[in-house]
Amino acid sequence: MIDYKLFIPGPINVSEETYRSMGTPVMGHRSPDFVELYRSVQPKLQRIFATEDPVFLSTSSAWGVMEGSVRNLCSKKVLNCMCGAFSDKWYDVSNRCGKDAGQLKVEWGQHIDPEDLRTALSSGEYDVVTLVHNETSCGMMNPLVEIMDVLREFPDVISVVDTVSSFSAVPIPKDELGIDVLLTGTQKALAMPPGLALLSVSERAMKRAEQVDDRGYYFDFLEFNKNHEKGMTPSTPVIPLIHALEHTLDKIFAEGMEARFARHTRLNDKVRAWVSQNGLALFPQEQYASRSLTCVKNTRDIEIAALNDALKKEKKFSIDGGYGKIKGQTFRISNMGDESDETIDELLTAIDELLPRFLPS
């Protein structure tokens, strides 16, 4: 069992209350009790997605529905916007699904430029675009509003937006922005255990799926929709996590969405202030830096792995030592989920205490 608290950007710390909400006896997934649970979370999900489209529950991690989106929606060619580990991998996944795929690629930490997207789509060869809103690997948040302004100019192109680490942390009004498929997972910004993915699919996207072959079964949008109409999922879902979801949604509405967004911004500002006070820097440009986590450029040659070990052992906190090719050159601190001024202060104070031991002499 772990005896330290997670400040890594996913999976993140889960509250005792949320764990307790999962301890409800399992029910038959074709029973009226389940239909009642499914139908009670649906309007709450639509409210938080800011959509009138259905929100499907997929028993998988986010990658299940990320792959599923490509399989359901691409009949010509998919354009993968690539700016970090998760968005880069989506290109690999598109290829592995046998789809013709193109790249709109920038360096890690750079944002996707809406003008470049317009140029790429003007070729007319694409019918799907994938975008990672918040690139967790490098703490960069894409300019979603400006990107969606461009995407709405191309009504034959279906947009798929991954908000795994930004959902409920910043406003993402699905219908207003015209996002076709908005997807997220539970273990990051929603502060739940892993195992459930949520996706809302537009009517346009559903029509496209009807015309695409080889959608498979487990992630078939038509199967999701057919079962949704009966208040059910295609196969046996992870019922304990649906109870946790209901609990989490109620908690979010009790705090208030605006208050939740403001709390994330305030806590993120606190981490950013700590970064500059310590002579460190943000990895992405400040204008495009994430609001749910901070990716810090290790400009002082801190021994990150050793610092993190000491933090775990002595202070019972864990941060992230950097993702993939920028491991060690960067480190990441999450402010997603249930964090408060108090918990962020505790973490930053603990790092301050240990830091001198891990700087070059």
Ligand X SMILES: *Cc1c(COP(=O)(O)O)cnc(C)c1O
Nearer to ligand X, 63 or 261 (CB): 63
Tell me whether strands 78-82 and 5-6 are parallel, antiparallel or unpaired: unpaired
Nearer to ligand X, 194 or 231 (CB): 194
User: Site map for ligand X, 147-166, x if CB under 6 A?
Assistant: ---------------x-xx-
The residues pairing with 102 across neighbouring beta strands, listed in sequence order, are: 79
| Exposure class string for 163-176: b at 16+ Cβ within 10 A, else e | bbbbbbbbebebee
Q: How far is CA 68 from CA 75, 95, 233, in A?
A: 13, 13, 15
Nearer to ligand X, 80 or 165 (CB): 165
In whole angstroms, how close is the CB of 88 to ligand X at the nearest point? 11
Among 70, 73, 132, 245, which residue sits at the site for ligand X (rule: CB under 6 A)? 132
In whole angstroms, how close is the CB of 161 to ligand X at the nearest point? 10
Give burial (CB, 10 Å; 0-12/13-18/19+) of 133.
Answer: buried
In whole angstroms, how close is the CB of 10 to ligand X at the nearest point? 5
Half-sphere exposure of 223 (CA within 13 A, CB side): 14
Look at the block and give the residue holding tokens 């050793």: 306
In whole angstroms, how close is the CB of 219 to ligand X at the nearest point? 12
Q: Which of 1, 43, 41, 47 is nearest to 21 (CA)?
A: 41
Among 42, 61, 103, 110, which residue sits at the site for ligand X (rule: CB under 6 A)? 61
Among 8, 57, 62, 148, which residue sits at the site for ligand X (rule: CB under 6 A)? 62
The verdict on 10 binding ligand X (CB under 6 A) reads yes
Nearer to ligand X, 88 or 127 (CB): 88
Among 5, 15, 46, 63, which residue sits at the site for ligand X (rule: CB under 6 A)? 63
Nearer to ligand X, 264 or 350 (CB): 264
Distance CA 206, CA 273 (A): 44
Distance CA 214, CA 151 (A): 26
The Cα diameter of the chain in Å comes to 66
Nearer to ligand X, 18 or 165 (CB): 165
Look at the block and give the residue holding tokens 């997807």: 183
Nearer to ligand X, 34 or 221 (CB): 221
Distance CA 117, CA 134 (A): 17
Structure tokens at 45: 């999900």
Question: What's the angle, vertex CA 40, arms to CA 39 and CA 45, rounded to 5?
Answer: 90
- Contacts to ligand X from residues 264-303, by CB under 6 A: none
In whole angstroms, how close is the CB of 60 to ligand X at the nearest point? 8
- Contacts to ligand X from residues 70-129, by CB under 6 A: 86
Among 58, 72, 94, 136, which residue sits at the site for ligand X (rule: CB under 6 A)? 136
Helix (H) or strand (E) holding 289: none
User: Site map for ligand X, 189-228, x if CB under 6 A?
Assistant: -----x----------------------------------
> Contact 138/108 with Cβ under 8 angstroms?
yes
Count of residues touching ligand X (by CB under 6 A)? 14
Among 54, 109, 114, 185, which residue sits at the site for ligand X (rule: CB under 6 A)? 185
Task: Enumerate binding residues for ligand X (CB under 6 A).
Answer: 10, 61-63, 86, 132, 134, 136, 162, 164-165, 185, 188, 194
